[in-house]
């Protein structure tokens, strides 16, 4: 139907942002409707991916490959597998909700805000389908620019500190990846990721490259102990920025692990899998406790994001243990599959949680939990959604949060019951911090007279929350289509793990 | 004896000399209200020179005046970009000069002589012509810095520049004399770079040759502004009128690259294993001093001065690889850097008015609101300087890093990348001031309405983005010049 579907998906929002900038400050409504038009169009186009992608065949499909820089052999190479398709559709879906969510909230230069959002969306889509390592890297870094602007201009009181920390922290990680890529280029003479995956490397080389990749992606995910930029960035970012950050941008880190660490340095990955597993467990347990004591709602959800992303990294690296130590491919696939579902599910849940906090913040202009209480009395519909997403956040069966975590715990049990035990702590800790949050914000008597004046959610907010709710419940009740979409790609990834490259 | 062919090979240079003289004479006979025409005559002169450089035997290397003057692709590329950046400097500086009543014939003639110096320097085939070109460029630059001769700061800067510059020229000359002497011990003494290439093979005084090399590297380091020979850079950048700073930071750096390449590769290529490490040390020192000291600057021109020092560190990364790939990367870096820095100073010139230099970082407060377009152009330029993709500054950095890795200097690449992170901070800080700070009370930030300037500045900054999206042809051109 479309010959350049992926290019269209990347460039539609990026180029669509230019007329927005030209619309200027004087016509904010024009800018809003234009951005909605672009976001919806992008989403519709991304649905064609589901049609064109053949989930049974797996592998990289819908390929586009052009020589970009002849003298360096850099290609403009795009292709998707099941995992990319799922992530791209999630990105475009969240894109619409972010535009809708910012509709009246952003009053200062809305055209620039929307333009930055759309550019960010386009670049993120690009990251999820690049097959040339240098193209991937360029897009991976370029997403920092719009996010830097988003937090810096429209953020909270400490936005400058937060955005500088965010930018420099993530930049710090990724430059080492650049050195690793240049080294690989020197060896292989190409940046093509498939060729790099087949390149034999000694254990020493693999170790260095593994750590260069790990630091880049671990900061992005973020993993303990390099997660400290995330709470700051989340707290200070505008609601839309937080939603995109949690829902999509963190996934870039784990996606990078799949595309770089797994195929290019599998032996070092297997050798150091214990390290990542331990860090993931620390994220799940320790960061869960940290979330418990937060007094700021956004910070609480930010820390819970770190804990939940721990499941993704655990699922990916537990597969190493299962394949290399016990050749248990079936269980490895289960763990990997769980990690992928957790990625998508966390995208929706965290996006929804941040939207809820945004709704409260727009009315009260405070994120402190103690300022709330009894919100359910004045906003019953909002309360309904808030409880739903909170339940999903603690992994209640029937919501999407349950599926991925359950699969990862199951897989880790067959690797080592102790790992499963620590991972399962999340069921208690997650429930504790989330339910306690709900209790303090929603239930009880109204003690603050500002709460009594809060208005019920309007049509626009209802639309955003309903959309998130549909996604969360649909994935929870019937994950089969998603499992099918990613199934063959996941098993191909797991088979790659078994290949020794030394 | 020089013949017609020699003159044809040097046609762009001869044309510039002739036009500089014409400008001097017309200036003397011009009425005050006719002076603005000088601007257009000068731009036309440079435009014709660009045409002459491009139209003259592209791709075919030729020498003139018995090897004194070399015309090859390297020289052509450097000349084209030196002329282009000078045109940009002229276009950006017109409103500034008019505001300050500095639109005088001297500015244009001196600039043209300085460009002529650059063109001779990058085409030098002999130690004497290196020195000739360098002095023509330097003497014009000293005078340009002191253009506003009644002001204290520029005069001080000019004196500093002159004294240190003269010292560096002396060092260079001293080194050249040693090299000349070494070439005479065991063979016929020669000043010709192509012949000097083989001196190491036969000279009976290799130590003398090495000493000469070291002194010449000091000269090159001074011209590049590489640490520890960087002392003049901050004062001169800050003290000079902004148009002159823009020139010193752009066209002049192309010349410095050309000079380094001619002296080190064409002349001393045999000793590359000796100077490789020296350049690497200079590179590390420049990266460290430039990036660390830039962080604490409050004056934008001074900050850009320290950033220049760090950028020269990256350029040296490419040079110290000492192979064609490294030279191509370094030349790519020099060209991109010239285009970036001229854009950065261009924005400052666009915002400056009579009595307001717009040279403190805090002067840019709230630029994102006051003048969104200029702020966007500055944003692109700063991200490019910081080396964030997809802007061209990133690819330039990636190329020199790759060259260093290719030459088995992984440690150097890692040092380079670590300082790129540190350097990021001060560029982001300026963006923070422009976008995240509210405009100061009674802020009068307003960009100039000069149309030619707005158009060229937009093309310049958007060009950084366009080059970043498609840098293949420029890189291909640079690589072709070095035979790959």
| Structure confidence by residue, pLDDT tens digits, B100-149 | 888 888 899 999 999 999 999 999 989 999 999 999 999 999 999 998 88
- pLDDT above 80: residue A163: yes
Would you state the pLDDT for residue A22? Answer: 82
pLDDT at A367 over 90: no
Mean pLDDT, residues A245-271 taken together: 91
**So what's the pLDDT on residue A1?**
59
Mean of pLDDT values over B469-477: 90
Distances (CA, A) of B459 to A197, A417, B377, B449, B452: 40, 62, 9, 16, 11
How many Å apart are CA B373 and CA A316, to the nearest integer?
A: 45
Mean pLDDT of chain A: 90
Residue the block writes with tokens 């032996």: A267
pLDDT of residue A445: 84
CA distance from start to end of chain A: 43
Residue B57: what pLDDT?
62
Distance between B336 CA and the closest CA of chain A, angstroms: 17
- Across A200-225, average pLDDT: 92
What is the average pLDDT across A264-282? 92
pLDDT single digits (tens) A6-29:
999 999 999 998 888 887 778 888
B71 closest CA partner among B120, B107, B37? B120
Task: Give contacts of A238 with chain B, Cβ < 8 Å.
Answer: none
pTM of the model: 0.93
User: CB-CB: which of B389, B402, B471 is closest to A182?
Assistant: B402
Please tell me if residue A176 touches chain B, with a CB cutoff of 8 Å: yes
Is residue B91's pLDDT more than 70?
yes
User: What average pLDDT does the segment A221-240 reach?
Assistant: 90
pLDDT at B351 over 70: yes
Q: Would you call A171 an interface residue with chain B, using a CB distance cutoff of 8 Å? A: yes
Nearest by CB to B388, from A72, A141, A176: name it. A141
Q: Give the residue on B whose Cα is nearest the Cα of A152.
A: B436
- Mean predicted confidence (pLDDT) in A454-481: 90
What pLDDT does A178 receive?
92
Share of chain A above pLDDT 90, in %: 53
Looking at beta carbons, which residues of chain A come within 8 Å of B332? none
**Residue A441 structure tokens:** 């914000």
What is the pLDDT at residue B206? 86
**Would you call B417 and A179 a contact, using CB atoms and an 8 Å cutoff?**
yes
Residue B448: the pLDDT is 75
SS3 B435: helix
Is the Cβ of B428 closer than 8 Å to some Cβ of chain A? yes
Q: Locate the chain B residue with the closest alpha carbon to A163.
A: B432
Mean of all residue pLDDT scores within chain B: 90
Specify the pLDDT at position B82: 95
* pLDDT value for B7: 84
Nearest CA in chain B to A157: B436
High-pLDDT (> 70) share of chain B, %: 99
| pLDDT value at residue B28 | 86
Measure in Å the smallest separation between the Cα of B315 and chain A Cα atoms.
17
CB contact under 8 A, A160 and B432: yes
Q: What is the mean pLDDT of residues A393-412?
A: 89
Gap from B366 CA to chain A (nearest CA, Å): 11
Contact A145 B470 (CB under 8 A): no
The confidence band for B61, taking pLDDT boundaries of 50, 70 and 90, is confident
Mean pLDDT of B227-249: 92
Residue B1: per-residue pLDDT = 59
B8 band by pLDDT with thresholds 50, 70 and 90: confident
Q: Is the pLDDT of residue B6 over 90?
A: no
User: Any idea what DSSP says for residue B267?
Assistant: I
Residue A241 pLDDT greater than 60, yes or no: yes
Q: What is the ipTM of this complex?
A: 0.91
Average pLDDT over residues A387-400: 90
Least confident of A208-212, A264-268, B33-37, B431-435: B33-37
CA B380 to chain centre: 20
| B354-389 pLDDT tens trace | 778 888 888 888 888 888 889 999 999 999 999 998
DSSP label at residue B362: G
Q: How many helices (H) and strands (E) does chain A have?
A: 24, 2
- Higher-pLDDT residue of B269 and A272 is A272
> Å from B47 to nearest chain A CA?
29
Q: Rounded to 5 degrees, what angle do the CA atoms B303, B304, B309 make?
A: 100
DSSP state, B59? Answer: T
Query: Using the beta-carbon criterion (under 8 Å), do B389 and A141 form an inter-chain contact?
Result: yes
Closest CB from B383, B417, B476 relative to A176 = B417
What per-residue confidence (pLDDT) applies to B227? 84
Range 375-394 of B in CB contact (< 8 A) with A: 383, 388-390, 394
Chains A, B: CB contacts under 8 A, how many?
Answer: 86
Contact A71 B479 (CB under 8 A): yes
pLDDT (0 to 100) of residue B105: 85
Alpha-carbon distance of A499 to B95, in angstroms, equals 66
pLDDT band at B58 (very low <50, low <70, confident <90, very high): low
């Amino acid at each position: 139907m479309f010959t350049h579907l992926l290019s269209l998906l990347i460039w539609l929002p990026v180029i669509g942002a230019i007329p927005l900038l030209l619309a200027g400050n004087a016509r904010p409504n024009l800018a809003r409707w234009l951005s909605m038009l672009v976001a919806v169009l992008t989403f519709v186009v991304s649905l064609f991916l589901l049609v064109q992608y053949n989930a049974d065949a797996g592998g990289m499909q819908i390929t586009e490959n052009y020589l970009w820089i002849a003298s360096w052999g850099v290609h403009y190479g795009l292709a998707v597998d099941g995992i990319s398709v799922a992530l791209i559709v999630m990105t475009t879906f969240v894109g619409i909700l972010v535009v809708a969510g910012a509709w009246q909230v952003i009053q200062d230069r809305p055209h620039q805000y929307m333009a930055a959002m759309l550019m960010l969306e386009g670049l993120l889509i690009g990251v999820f389908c690049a097959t040339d390592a240098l193209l991937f890297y360029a897009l991976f870094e370029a997403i920092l620019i719009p996010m830097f602007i988003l937090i810096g201009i429209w953020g909270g009181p400490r936005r400058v500190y937060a955005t500088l920390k965010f930018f420099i922290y993530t930049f710090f990680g990724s430059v080492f990846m650049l050195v690793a890529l240049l080294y690989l280029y020197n060896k292989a003479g190409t940046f093509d990721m498939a060729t790099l995956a087949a390149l034999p490397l000694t254990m020493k080389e693999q170790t260095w490259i593994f750590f260069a990749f790990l630091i880049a992606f671990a900061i992005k995910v973020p993993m303990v102990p390099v997660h400290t930029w995330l709470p700051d960035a989340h707290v200070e970012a505008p609601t839309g920025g937080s939603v995109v950050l949690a829902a999509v941008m963190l996934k870039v880190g784990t996606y990078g692990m799949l595309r770089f660490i797994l195929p290019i340095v599998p032996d070092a990955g297997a050798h150091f899998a214990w390290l990542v597993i331990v860090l993931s467990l620390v994220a799940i347990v320790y960061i869960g406790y940290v979330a418990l004591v937060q007094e700021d709602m956004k910070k609480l959800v930010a820390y819970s994001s770190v804990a939940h992303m721990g499941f993704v990294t655990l699922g990916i690296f537990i597969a190493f243990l299962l394949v290399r130590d016990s050749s248990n491919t079936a269980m490895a696939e289960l763990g990997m599959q769980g990690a992928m579902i957790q990625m998508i599910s966390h995208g929706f849940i965290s996006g929804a949680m941040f939207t809820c906090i945004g709704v409260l913040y727009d009315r009260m202009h405070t994120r402190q939990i103690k300022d709330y209480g009894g919100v359910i009395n004045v906003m019953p519909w909002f309360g309904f959604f808030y409880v739903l997403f909170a339940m999903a956040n603690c992994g209640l069966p029937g919501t999407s949060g349950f599926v991925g975590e359950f699969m990862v715990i199951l897989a880790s049990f067959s690797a080592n019951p102790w790992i499963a035990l620590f991972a399962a702590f999340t069921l208690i800790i997650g429930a504790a911090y989330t339910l306690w949050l709900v209790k303090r914000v929603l239930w009880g008597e109204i003690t603050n007279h500002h709460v009594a004046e809060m208005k019920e959610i309007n049509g626009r907010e209802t639309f955003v929350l309903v959309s998130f709710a549909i996604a969360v419940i649909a994935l929870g009740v019937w994950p089969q289509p998603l499992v099918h979409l990613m199934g063959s790609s996941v098993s191909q990834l797991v088979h790659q793990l078994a290949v020794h490259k030394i | 004896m020089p013949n017609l062919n020699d003159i044809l090979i040097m046609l762009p240079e001869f044309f510039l000399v002739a036009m500089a003289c014409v400008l001097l004479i017309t200036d003397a006979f011009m009425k005050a209200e006719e002076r603005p025409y000088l601007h257009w005559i000068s731009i036309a002169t440079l435009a014709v020179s660009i045409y002459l450089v491009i139209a003259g035997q592209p791709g075919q290397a030729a020498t003139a005046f018995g090897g004194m003057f070399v015309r090859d692709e390297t020289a052509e590329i450097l000349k084209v970009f030196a002329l282009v950046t000078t045109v940009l400097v002229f276009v950006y500086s017109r409103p500034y000069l008019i505001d300050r009543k500095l639109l005088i014939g001297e500015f244009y003639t001196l600039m043209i002589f300085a460009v002529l110096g650059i063109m001779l320097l990058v085409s030098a085939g002999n130690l004497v012509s290196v020195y000739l070109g360098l002095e023509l460029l330097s003497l014009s630059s000293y005078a340009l810095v002191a253009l506003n001769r009644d002001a204290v700061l520029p005069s001080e800067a000019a004196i500093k520049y002159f004294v240190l510059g003269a010292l560096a020229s002396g060092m260079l000359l001293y080194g050249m004399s040693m090299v000349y002497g070494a070439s005479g011990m065991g063979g016929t003494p020669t000043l010709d770079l192509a012949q000097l290439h083989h001196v190491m093979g036969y000279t009976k005084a290799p130590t003398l040759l090495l000493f000469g090399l070291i002194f010449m590297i000091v000269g090159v380091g001074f011209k590049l502004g590489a640490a520890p020979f960087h002392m003049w850079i901050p004062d001169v950048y800050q003290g000079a009128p902004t148009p002159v700073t823009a020139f010193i930071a752009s066209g002049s750096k192309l010349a410095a690259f050309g000079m380094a390449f001619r002296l080190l590769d064409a002349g001393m290529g045999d000793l590359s294993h000796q100077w490789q490490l020296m350049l690497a040390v200079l590179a590390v020192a420049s990266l460290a001093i430039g990036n660390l000291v830039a962080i604490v600057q409050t004056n934008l021109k001074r900050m850009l001065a320290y950033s220049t020092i760090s950028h020269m560190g990256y350029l040296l990364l490419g040079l110290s690889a000492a192979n064609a790939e490294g030279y191509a990367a370094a030349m790519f870096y020099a060209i991109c850097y010239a285009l970036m820095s001229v854009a950065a100073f261009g924005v400052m010139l666009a915002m400056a008015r009579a009595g307001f230099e717009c040279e403190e970082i805090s002067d840019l407060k709230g630029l994102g609101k006051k003048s969104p377009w200029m702020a966007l152009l500055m944003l692109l330029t700063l991200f490019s300087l910081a080396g964030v993709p997809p802007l061209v500054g990133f690819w330039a950095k990636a190329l020199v890093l790759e060259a260093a890795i290719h030459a088995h200097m992984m440690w150097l690449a890692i040092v380079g990348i670590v300082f790129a992170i540190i350097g990021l901070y001060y560029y982001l800080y300026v963006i923070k001031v422009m976008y995240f700070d509210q405009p100061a009370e009674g802020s009068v930030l307003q960009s100039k309405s000069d149309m030619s300037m707005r158009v060229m500045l937009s093309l310049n900054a958007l060009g950084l983005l366009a080059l970043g999206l498609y840098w293949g042809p420029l890189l291909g051109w640079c690589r072709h010049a070095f035979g790959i």
